[in-house]
């Protein structure tokens, strides 16, 4: 029986929780080759959106086009999908869903440094307080594949990478080539 090249890991969380940093570190330190896909960048690069919203300074994603674009990539496995939401992805895709959490005051500061408009900072800050991404993940995927990790400090980041690498090692042992 053929096996995929590697697991499909979704790294999600409110903007400013450290998703891209974690995903990049995972891709570079993983014991198996994992391709990091920043979904937001892919949307822009491949024009997988309906329009640009000036008020929110963001694109309105065409979810059908996005899922079509990702389907073949995900089918091969060995990928880290890095995006601020996860419930759009079919339940069959991920082997692991990592939800990064961060104190809302830290999220606020990080988004301010990025130059986000106040309205967008407030909305994302509220989403973090209300655990919106975590609840979406828990309602979209089996409980055993959803992991909530704190992501406030460099120590958290390093610990999270180590923990996920341990998970990848276990996955690799359970899925011999």
Express each pLDDT in 71-112 by its tens digit. Answer: 999 999 999 999 999 999 999 999 999 999 999 999 999 999
Q: Which CATH class is domain 8-174?
A: alpha beta
Annotated binding site for ATP: 16, 18-21, 114
> How far is Cα of residue 161 from the mean position of the Cα atoms in its chain?
14
Share the mean pLDDT of the chain. 95
- What is the tens place of the pLDDT at every residue in 117-150? 999 999 999 999 999 999 999 999 999 999 999 9
Binding residues: 16, 18-21, 114
């Amino acid at each position: 029986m053929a096996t995929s090249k590697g697991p499909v890991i979704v790294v999600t969380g409110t903007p400013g929780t450290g998703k891209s940093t974690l995903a990049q570190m995972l891709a570079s330190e993983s014991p198996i080759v994992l391709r990091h896909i920043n979904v937001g960048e892919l949307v822009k690069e491949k024009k997988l959106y309906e329009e640009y919203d000036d008020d929110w300074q963001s694109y309105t994603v065409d979810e059908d086009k996005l899922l079509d674009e990702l389907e073949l990539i995900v089918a091969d496995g060995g990928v880290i999908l890095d995006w601020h939401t996860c419930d759009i992805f079919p339940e069959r895709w991920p082997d692991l869903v990592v939800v990064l959490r961060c104190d809302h005051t830290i999220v606020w500061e990080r988004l301010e440094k990025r130059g986000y408009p106040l309205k967008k900072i407030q909305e994302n800050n509220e989403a973090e307080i209300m655990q919106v991404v975590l609840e979406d993940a828990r309602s979209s995927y089996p409980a055993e594949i959803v992991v909530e990790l704190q992501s406030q400090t460099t120590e958290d980041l390093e610990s999270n990478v180590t923990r996920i690498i341990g998970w990848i090692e276990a996955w690799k042992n359970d899925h011999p080539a």
